């Protein structure tokens, strides 16, 4: 791959964030979910209001991966109170690493992941954690390969459908 750039997302980028957010969520989850649940989630979860609030949150950060000015992936990190669970000040949560299917296998996810770990170390986080859908073996093996271990499960509701996320973590102490 040519030079992939990783840059922090700002409010000016909200249209691009909404577009890639919806596209990658749909690609990842549409086969396993009803059209109605997907439509509602894509509408609410990636609304301008919600994204504006998330971009304005000092404890959340988004990053784009771009290639020749085209957005080819994004990362969402949460700290402190903005973490979806745990809310541990010694931790950093990777809430999302999404890459469109056409760019799978091109190390885009790994670059975004490396960025997340770099930020975790800058913030002196003791560990990084995340939730990954149990029916996403590609993601699970990616995180295992990077040293994550499973430690819990939790339920994620998509519309009226309950799904299980596997929670995984990576200790940074001594790394």
Looking at 63, 98, 113, 143, which residue is catalytic?
Answer: 143
Please indicate whether residue 143 is annotated as part of the active site.
yes
Say what the pLDDT of residue 175 is: 60
Say what the pLDDT of residue 32 is: 87
73-120 pLDDT, tens per residue? 999 999 999 999 999 999 999 999 999 999 999 999 999 999 999 999
Say what the pLDDT of residue 128 is: 98
Domains of the chain: 4-171 (3.40.630.30)
For 110, residues 6+ apart whose C-beta sits below 8 A from its C-beta are: 142
156-168 pLDDT, tens per residue? 888 889 999 999 9
pLDDT at 174 over 90: no
Say what the pLDDT of residue 173 is: 86
18-65 pLDDT, tens per residue? 999 999 999 988 998 999 999 999 999 999 999 999 999 999 999 999
Rounded to an integer, what distance in angstroms lies between the CA atom of residue 170 and that of residue 175? 10
Say what the pLDDT of residue 71 is: 97
Are 17 and 63 a contacting pair, CB within 8 Å? no
Q: How far is CA 91 from CA 33, 34, 124, 140, in A?
A: 31, 34, 9, 20
Residues 99, 26, 165, 49: is their CA dihedral positive or negative? positive
The closest alpha carbon to 127, from 105, 94, 96, 162, belongs to 94
Predicted TM-score (pTM) of the model is 0.94
């Amino acid at each position: 791959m040519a030079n992939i750039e990783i840059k922090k997302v700002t409010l000016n980028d909200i249209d691009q964030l909404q577009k890639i957010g919806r596209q990658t969520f749909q690609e990842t989850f549409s086969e396993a979910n009803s059209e109605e649940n997907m439509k509602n989630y894509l509408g609410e979860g990636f609304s301008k209001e919600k994204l504006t609030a998330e971009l304005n949150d000092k404890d959340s950060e988004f990053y784009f991966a771009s290639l020749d000015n085209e957005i080819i992936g994004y990362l969402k990190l949460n700290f402190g109170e903005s973490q979806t669970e745990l809310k541990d000040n010694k931790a950093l949560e990777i809430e999302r690493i999404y890459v469109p299917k056409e760019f799978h296998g091109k190390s885009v996810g790994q670059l975004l992941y490396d960025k997340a770990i770099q930020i975790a170390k800058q913030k002196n986080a003791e560990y990084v954690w995340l939730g990954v859908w149990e029916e996403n073996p590609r993601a699970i093996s990616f995180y295992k390969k990077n040293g994550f271990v499973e430690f819990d499960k939790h339920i994620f509701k998509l519309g009226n459908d309950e799904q299980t996320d596997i929670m995984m973590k990576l200790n940074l102490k001594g790394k």
